[in-house]
Amino acid sequence: MSSTAANRPRVMAGMRPSGLVHLGHLVGVLTQWANYSGSADAFFEIADLHAYTTDFDDPAKIRDARNEMVAAWLAAGVDPRTSTIFLQSGIPQISELQVLLAMITPLSWLERVPTFKGQIEALGQQIATYGFLGYPLLQLCDIAIFRGEYVPVGRDQVAHLELGREIVRRFNYLYGDGREILIEPQATLSEFPDVPGIDGRKMSKSYDNAIFISDDEETTTRKVRAMVTDPLKIRRGDPGRPEICPLFALWRLVNPLKVDGVAAECRSGALGCVQDKTDFAEQLNAHLRPLRERYTMYRGDPALVERIIAEGTARARDIAAGVLADVKRAMKLTSAL
* 64 belongs to a structural domain: yes
- Whether residue 212 lies inside any domain: the answer is no
Evaluate whether residue 210 is within a structural domain. Answer: no
Whether residues 308 and 163 fall in one domain: yes
Is residue 255 in some structural domain?
Answer: yes
Task: Indicate the average pLDDT of the chain.
Answer: 91
Q: Are residues 34 and 182 in the same domain?
A: yes
278 and 310: one domain? no
Same domain (yes/no): 144, 258: no
80 with 120, same domain?
A: yes
> Range with the lowest mean pLDDT among 1-10, 122-131, 222-231?
1-10
Residues 307 and 277 in one domain: no
Q: Is residue 207 a part of any domain in this protein?
A: no
Average of pLDDT values for 124-150?
89
CATH number at residue 178: 3.40.50.620
Residues 179 and 268 in one domain: no
**One domain, residues 235 and 270:** yes
Q: Does 102 map to a domain?
A: yes
**CB-based contacts of 93, cutoff 8 Å, min separation 6:** 145, 317, 320, 321, 323, 324
- Does residue 1 form part of some domain? no
Residue 165 and residue 146 in one domain: yes
Q: Confidence class of residue 152 from pLDDT cuts 50, 70 and 90?
A: confident
Q: pLDDT tens digits for 246-299? A: 899 889 888 889 999 999 999 999 999 999 999 999 999 999 999 999 999 999
- Based on the domain organization, do 27 and 52 belong to the same domain? yes
In the chain, the number of structural domains is 2
Residues 168 and 72 in one domain: yes
pLDDT category, 3, cuts 50, 70, 90? very low
Domain range holding 45?
A: 10-195+302-330
Q: 75 and 133 share a domain?
A: yes
